[in-house]
Amino acid sequence: MKKLFAVALGILTAIGGFVDIGDLVTNATVGSRFGMSLAWVVVVGVVGIVVFAEMSGRVVAVSGRPTFDIIRERLGPRVGLANLIGSMAVTLLTFIAEIGGVALALELATSVWEYFWIPFTAAAVWLVLWRAKFQLVENVFGLMGLALVVFAVALWQLGPDWSQMWHTASTAAKPGQEAWPSYWYYAVALFGAAMTPYEVFFFSSGGVEERWTEREIPTVRANVFIGFPLGGLLSLSIAGVAAVTLFPASIQVETLSQVGLPVAIALGKLGLAIAILGFFAATFGAAAETGLSVGYSIAQYFGWQWGKFVRPRDAARFHAVVLLSTILAAVVLLTTVDPILVTEFSVVFSALALPLTYLPILIVANDPAYMGSHQNRWLANTLGSVYLVVVLVASIAAIPLMIWTKLGTT
């Protein structure tokens, strides 16, 4: 019974924790501009994150060490450094975007200017990272993030023409008024949002925090194989409500309040309040995860003591990195940079950094010295190799498409 509860809790937190500010903004933007024609990208992205999260979870469960630590040992400090710089820069950018997202959610609930909330948000995130237990960070915000199920309820309540939606999604038909470069730019952004590198860092380092062993592999797989695809359905619901209400009205999503507007139309004040709670939980949870991931990646590369399973005093440098990152995030946001713009950059740069994150995981998961009898089988290798080609193409295309389409505005 206890085991079943642990599995159910893991699945629920995986669903609730799947969506972050990048998914919220990108899915709503795509739904409002392209209808459901880019739904296939969410499916491709979810399968990709499932493949690599399972791999990195298995690496942790078998070796008892986080993926980043093994990457440095197995591939040497130079490759490790490239991996560190690329992935950490994107994770830091995502951290900034998530803190901005929390401030935006608070602004929606109070109408008090978002920049007022930034110092308080940053302080609250840092306090949670410093004082709260790891399970608390993971479970509380993951479960609160389930409030975003309100988007699925809103979609059902709006009563769309399901066959038309399926037709648009399955044929990937681009709306006539949109240009192909913009279509592909948003495809790359959506893919980057679904496969954000920090998700793998947090997942694998979290495994060490929770002391996974080989016995936990079935639980890890249940979380990944059930929780992540259901989280992907939440992403599709966000795109779906935007496609049904905003797309026909030519409303393009530029703000978080526009992301919640379809829920207000469908379910009224209560639905909108639940959606705002979901925004808060999703962004706060992701801020905690990205903040920890920045600390994890740097501490693991330099071989420092890290994590929340030891007292803060014993992992002082790890906590110092987390504190400095939080201060940096607040300072960047207080320059009055638009958090939504930071989010757009973070998902595109995520796509750029994908090969640096996922190639080393594939290599380590194939190494019998670390994995023993749990090394990758043919299915994981086939999918992993196919996805490496996809992430490489997305990575190469990301910046040229961003420049060509002026961040998707043309």
Partner 1 sequence: MRRATAWPLAAVLLLSGCVPASPDVGTYDDKASQTLGSAVSEVRTVQRVMETSYDGRMLRPTARTQMRYSEDALDTATSAFTELNPPPTRDRVFERANTLLGDAGDLVTRARITLERSEERRYPGLAKQLGRTANQLERLEERLQ
Residues that bind partner 1 (CB under 8 A): 107-111, 177, 245, 249-252, 254-255, 257-258, 260-261, 264-265, 267-269, 272-273, 276, 409-410
**For residues 188 and 276, which CB has a smaller minimum distance to partner 1 in the complex?**
276
**For residues 80 and 262, which CB has a smaller minimum distance to partner 1 in the complex?**
262
**For residues 110 and 213, which CB has a smaller minimum distance to partner 1 in the complex?**
110
Nearest distance, CB of residue 113 and partner 1, angstroms? 9
**For residues 106 and 194, which CB has a smaller minimum distance to partner 1 in the complex?**
106
Please provide residue 319's backbone torsions phi and psi, each rounded to the nearest 5 degrees.
-70, -30
Collect all residues with Cβ–Cβ distance below 8 Å to 210 and sequence separation of at least 6: 134, 135, 216
Distance CA 103, CA 99 (A): 6
CA-nearest of 276, 245, 227, 228 to 111 is 276
Give buried/exposed letters for 210-245 (b at 16+ CB in 10 A, else e).
Answer: eebeeebbebbbbbbebbbbbbbbbbbbbbbbbbbb
**For residues 178 and 367, which CB has a smaller minimum distance to partner 1 in the complex?**
178
**For residues 196 and 245, which CB has a smaller minimum distance to partner 1 in the complex?**
245
CA-nearest of 120, 119, 116, 96 to 107 is 116
Nearest distance, CB of residue 10 and partner 1, angstroms? 33
Nearest distance, CB of residue 359 and partner 1, angstroms? 38
| Residue 326 · residue 70 · CB < 8 Å | no
CA distances from 9 to 146, 215, 222, 343, 360 (A): 12, 17, 11, 29, 30
Scanning the structure block, which residue is given the tokens 């709306």? 175
CA-nearest of 145, 103, 98 to 120 is 103
Distance CA 83, CA 77 (A): 10
Nearest distance, CB of residue 107 and partner 1, angstroms? 6
Nearest distance, CB of residue 260 and partner 1, angstroms? 7
Nearest distance, CB of residue 272 and partner 1, angstroms? 5
Nearest distance, CB of residue 253 and partner 1, angstroms? 9
**For residues 14 and 272, which CB has a smaller minimum distance to partner 1 in the complex?**
272
Nearest distance, CB of residue 337 and partner 1, angstroms? 15
Q: Would the CA dihedral through 242, 28, 18, 182 be positive or negative?
A: positive
**For residues 111 and 163, which CB has a smaller minimum distance to partner 1 in the complex?**
111
CA-nearest of 200, 197, 223 to 59 is 200
